[in-house]
Amino acid sequence: MKQKLKHKELAFEFVENVPENLNEGILYISTKYASAIHRCCCGCGNEVVTPLSPVGWSLIFDGDTVSLEPSIGNWNFTCRSHYWITRNKVRAAAPWSENKIEAGRARENAAMQRYFNQKADEEPAN
């Protein structure tokens, strides 16, 4: 069963530094620090940090709206919310089991390891 979300849409702001106090319903995007940060869309108030990287989240800005991929899974929060942010809209996603969460984390770790191994192989020898 999908969770009810307080926020069905997010505004966004490009910022150099993330504000000390985050407003609900706003996705703050710092290209300088390659991060997007917002308060959890369920309304619990937790800060959600999504690092932007080739092996993390991707941000799409089409000149009018923003999207983040992959989905946001707040598995370490009490709320355990799970949602997609697509063209400023927030869409609830199905919750994941502990096994699915562990498998997803293993895939992420393997992808990160492959990425950094590849980068190390591409570095010129000194």
Q: What is the pLDDT of residues 98-122, one digit of tens each?
A: 899 999 889 888 888 887 888 787 8
Q: What is the pLDDT of residues 22-61, one digit of tens each?
A: 999 999 999 999 999 999 999 999 999 999 999 889 999 9
Q: Domain range spanning residue 55?
A: 1-95
Residues 4 and 59 in one domain: yes
Residues 71 and 112 in one domain: no
How many domains in the chain?
2
Q: What is the per-residue pLDDT for 56? A: 87
Mean pLDDT rounded to a whole number for the chain: 92
Extract long-range pairs of 56-64: CB within 8 Å, 24+ residues apart.
59/29, 61/29, 62/87
Q: What is the per-residue pLDDT for 40? A: 97
Q: What is the DSSP string of 64-77?
A: S-EEEEEEEE-TTS
